[in-house]
């Protein structure tokens, strides 16, 4: 889209009006020809206030031909392997893919890239995948962006999937935008809700403008439709005893294996506690007024065997490490129990923990939005409630 000058309608009078009209001095008139320079801010003043029809705003989207959506079929999940096992986010996405595919009677596919991945491919068939497309080669043993992009693009060209779901992991966040750009299609990152229209348009919903609105995004004029989803957003299906579906081994050309990057060595990083994996979490927010009071939170978490986490302001205040932050710009958690202490419950925070099995909220404001998603809400001063809760747990555990 952009500004278009219709030179056949340009004359000295029109040019004079337009050059004086532009607040950025971005319109030039030289030797009877009108042009727009780099100072243009696309304010469209020339379109609205200038001589009719001399400069117009052309929207490319309106000129695009509608894509034949019937040629694109299947909801695909990009499958990741981690330490010889299927990454949990892959299973969660398969569960969601099955729901979406059922709306439009499409098959569910999994795309698996790597080396010696047959067992992983077989495992995926226990979760309701109709076909696993396997690209298996020594050159793909470790993640390299160029070969993986080539292979992913090859899959799209040959299979033509309608929608592709990718986990928002380090690999997924690197690979998905590159492939989407390669295929000239859209990508919505960090979706929290996915819905399918009957015409196969994938409605990708995510918080926007700092979490103040929930944006609904569709890609109606291109295929495939890409989105990334964080771990712990959806629920993984139950594993069936017997596998169903088939594994399709895909050919890999030498051209697809080329890479300008070479891996010299792989060094394993020390394992860190990941709050995304925690079964119990004690989180705190602005209700904690000073750093010394965090010890009270740690005591409660210790008694419960829970991980300590918090909101973004607590990380910015230096009370917590960034890896302990829950929310849109932090981690997503889905524990069996989360206790939210002194947290108002902004959209940003709620998006990162609302799928928890059981939510307990402690806040002195009865209108705090955290109570809208809590299973149990306690209204009161956390400095009175938390010490009493700690004491009750100690008595139950017979701990001094």
For the stretch 361-399, pLDDT in tens is 999 999 999 999 999 999 999 999 999 999 999 988 876
CA–CA separation, 86 vs 101, rounded Å? 21
Cα distances from 363 to residues 285, 306, 367, 374, in angstroms, run: 10, 20, 9, 11
> Given pLDDT bands bounded at 50, 70 and 90, which one contains residue 26?
very high
The candidate with the shortest Cα–Cα distance to 69, out of 253, 287, 177, 220, is 220
Statement: residue 62 has pLDDT above 60: no
Query: What does the domain layout of the chain look like in residue ranges?
Result: 2-63, 69-257, 275-397
Domain spanning 2-63: CATH 3.30.70.20: yes
**What region, left, alpha or beta, does residue 182 occupy, with left being phi > 0 and alpha being psi -120 to 50 degrees?**
alpha
> Given pLDDT bands bounded at 50, 70 and 90, which one contains residue 210?
low
Helix (H, G, I), strand (E, B) or coil at 387: helix
pLDDT averaged over every residue in the chain: 92
Structure tokens at 104: 């439009």
| H/E run at residue 203 | strand 202-208
Residues 6+ apart with CB under 8 A from 96: 165, 194, 229, 234
Residue with tokens 């030039």: 28
- DSSP-assigned beta bridge partners for residue 108: 75
> Given pLDDT bands bounded at 50, 70 and 90, which one contains residue 151?
very high
Statement: residue 63 has pLDDT above 70: no
Q: What is the pLDDT of residue 319?
A: 94
Q: What is the pLDDT of residue 211?
A: 67
Domains 69-257 and 275-397 share a fold: yes
Q: What is the pLDDT of residue 207?
A: 82
Whether this prediction's pTM lies above 0.95 is answered by no
Residues 6+ apart with CB under 8 A from 295: none
> Given pLDDT bands bounded at 50, 70 and 90, which one contains residue 97?
very high
Kindly state the percentage of the chain with pLDDT values over 90: 80
Statement: residue 59 has pLDDT above 80: no
> Given pLDDT bands bounded at 50, 70 and 90, which one contains residue 301?
very high
> Given pLDDT bands bounded at 50, 70 and 90, which one contains residue 110?
very high
Q: What is the mean pLDDT of residues 188-199?
A: 95
Q: What is the pLDDT of residue 246?
A: 96
| H/E run at residue 378 | strand 376-379
> Given pLDDT bands bounded at 50, 70 and 90, which one contains residue 208?
confident
Q: Long-range pairs for 4-11 at CB < 8 Å and ≥24 separation?
A: 4/55, 4/56, 4/57, 4/58, 5/34, 5/35, 5/36, 5/54, 5/55, 6/53, 6/54, 6/55, 6/56, 7/33, 7/34, 9/51, 9/53, 9/54, 10/34, 10/54
Is beta strand 376-379 parallel, antiparallel or unpaired with respect to 33-36?
Answer: unpaired
> Given pLDDT bands bounded at 50, 70 and 90, which one contains residue 189?
very high
Is beta strand 163-167 parallel, antiparallel or unpaired with respect to 225-229?
Answer: parallel
Structure tokens at 213: 């609105």
The candidate with the shortest Cα–Cα distance to 301, out of 275, 329, 268, 272, is 275
Q: For residue range 256-296, what is the model confidence (pLDDT) as tens digits? A: 999 988 888 888 877 677 898 899 999 999 999 888 899 99
pLDDT higher for 218 or 266?
218
Q: What is the pLDDT of residue 204?
A: 97
Structure tokens at 297: 């939170």
CB count, 10 Å around CB of 210?
11
Q: Which CATH number fits domain 69-257: 3.40.309.10, 3.40.50.620, 2.60.120.560, 3.30.70.100?
A: 3.40.50.620
CA–CA separation, 59 vs 57, rounded Å? 7
pLDDT higher for 276 or 99?
99
Statement: residue 60 has pLDDT above 90: no
- Crossing angle of helices 170-182 and 145-159, in 10° steps, is 50
Cα distances from 360 to residues 28, 60, 179, 377, in angstroms, run: 64, 50, 41, 6
Query: Measured in whole angstroms, how far is the alpha carbon of residue 111 from the centre of its chain?
Result: 18
> Given pLDDT bands bounded at 50, 70 and 90, which one contains residue 209?
confident
Statement: residue 247 has pLDDT above 70: yes
Q: What is the pLDDT of residue 51?
A: 93
Q: What is the mean pLDDT of residues 244-267?
A: 92
> Given pLDDT bands bounded at 50, 70 and 90, which one contains residue 400?
low
Helix (H, G, I), strand (E, B) or coil at 73: coil
| H/E run at residue 36 | strand 33-36
CA–CA separation, 2 vs 226, rounded Å? 26
Q: What is the mean pLDDT of residues 292-302?
A: 94
> Given pLDDT bands bounded at 50, 70 and 90, which one contains residue 65?
low
Q: What is the mean pLDDT of residues 136-147?
A: 95
The domain made up of 275-397 has a fold known as: Rossmann fold (3.40.50)
Query: Measured in whole angstroms, how far is the alpha carbon of residue 267 from the centre of its chain?
Result: 28
Helix (H, G, I), strand (E, B) or coil at 22: coil
Check the CA dihedral 64-66-71-74 and report its sign. Answer: positive
Helix (H, G, I), strand (E, B) or coil at 129: coil
Statement: residue 61 has pLDDT above 60: no
Statement: residue 144 has pLDDT above 60: yes
Q: What is the pLDDT of residue 129?
A: 97
CA–CA separation, 356 vs 346, rounded Å? 16
């Amino acid at each position: 889209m952009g500004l278009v000058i219709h030179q056949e309608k340009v004359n000295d009078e029109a040019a004079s009006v337009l050059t004086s009209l532009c607040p950025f001095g971005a319109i030039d008139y030289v030797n009877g020809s009108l042009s727009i320079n780099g100072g243009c801010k696309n304010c469209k003043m020339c379109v609205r206030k200038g001589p009719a029809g001399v400069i117009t705003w052309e929207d490319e989207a309106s000129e695009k031909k509608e894509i034949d959506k019937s040629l694109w079929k299947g909801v695909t999940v990009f499958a990741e392997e981690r330490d010889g096992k299927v990454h949990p986010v892959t299973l969660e996405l398969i569960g969601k893919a099955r729901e979406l595919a059922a709306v439009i009677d499409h098959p569910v596919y999994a795309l698996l890239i790597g080396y010696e991945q047959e067992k992983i491919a077989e495992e995926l068939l226990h979760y309701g995948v109709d076909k696993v497309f396997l690209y298996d080669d020594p050159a793909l043993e470790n993640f390299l962006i160029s070969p993986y992009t080539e292979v992913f693009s090859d899959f799209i060209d040959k299979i033509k999937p309608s929608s592709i779901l990718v986990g928002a992991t380090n690999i997924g966040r690197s690979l998905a935008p590159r492939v989407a750009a390669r295929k000239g299609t859209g990508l919505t990152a960090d979706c929290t809700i996915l819905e399918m229209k009957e015409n196969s348009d994938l409605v990708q919903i995510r918080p926007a403008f700092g979490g103040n609105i929930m944006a609904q995004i569709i890609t109606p004029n291109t295929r495939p439709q890409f989105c990334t989803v964080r771990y712990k957003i959806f629920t993984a299906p139950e594993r069936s005893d017997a596998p169903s579906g088939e594994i399709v081994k895909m050919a890999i050309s030498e051209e697809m294996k080329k890479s300008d990057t070479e891996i010299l060595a792989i060094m394993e990083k020390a394992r860190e506690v990941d709050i995304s994996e925690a079964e119990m979490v004690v989180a705190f927010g602005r209700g904690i007024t000073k750093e010394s009071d965090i010890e009270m939170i740690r005591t409660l978490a210790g008694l419960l065997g829970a991980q300590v986490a918090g909101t973004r302001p607590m990380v910015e205040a230096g009370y917590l490490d960034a890896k302990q932050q829950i929310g849109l710009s932090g981690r997503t958690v889905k524990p069996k129990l989360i206790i939210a202490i002194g947290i108002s419950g902004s959209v940003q925070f709620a998006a990162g923990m609302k799928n928890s099995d059981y939510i307990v909220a402690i806040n002195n404001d009865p209108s705090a939005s955290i109570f809208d998603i809590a299973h149990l809400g306690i209204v009161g001063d956390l400095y009175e409630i938390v010490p009493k809760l700690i004491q009750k747990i100690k008595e139950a555990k017979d701990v001094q």
